[in-house]
Amino acid sequence: MDERRDAVSPIYVEYAISAQDMFERKTYPTWRTDREAAKYFGAYEIPRGEAFPISYIELSTKPHLFGALGFDVKEDYLTTTRIITFHCKSCGVHVVKDGSHRLLQCAFHKLNPQLEVYEVVSRDWAACKVDMKNFCECISNNALQGTRLTPRL
């Protein structure tokens, strides 16, 4: 499923940003965990009340999850610094669709390369049925009847 097609009036942008600057934003991998970040959930169908966003910085401190993510701390994932993200211009959330292993490597090893980001930007991701429905605060506020998403940073 190509979720970008569900974005209303998408804009496609390309820019450069350092990995550490990217971590200062509301940027998340599509990976989610339980509330305590003890267990990884890979299915997007798991509801927001059971699976929660986790930042790359917090994820880098949870090596017990690395096996489930297919992440090896000794592997070099930075053979490219290209990242693909979806961005909600209304709530500021960035979801990394391609490049999560690269960003986790940067967080784990405290690396700061310049990233080449290709981003799909929209103010309205409400029609999305895959990843953005689990991260976009605009959608979650409606889906959770006004409760604010409070992801761990």
pLDDT, tens only, 39-93: 999 899 998 889 999 999 999 999 999 999 999 999 999 999 999 999 999 999 9
Contacts of 104 (CB under 8 A, 6+ apart): 29, 56, 59, 60, 69, 71, 77
Alpha-carbon distance of 136 to 149, in angstroms, equals 9
Alpha-carbon distance of 1 to 24, in angstroms, equals 29
Q: Which of 57, 83, 37 is nearest to 153 (CA)?
A: 57
On the question of pLDDT at 141 being above 70, the answer is no
Alpha-carbon distance of 119 to 129, in angstroms, equals 19
Per-residue confidence band for 125, with pLDDT thresholds at 50, 70 and 90: confident
Pairing of strands 82-88, 93-98: antiparallel
Alpha-carbon distance of 122 to 86, in angstroms, equals 8
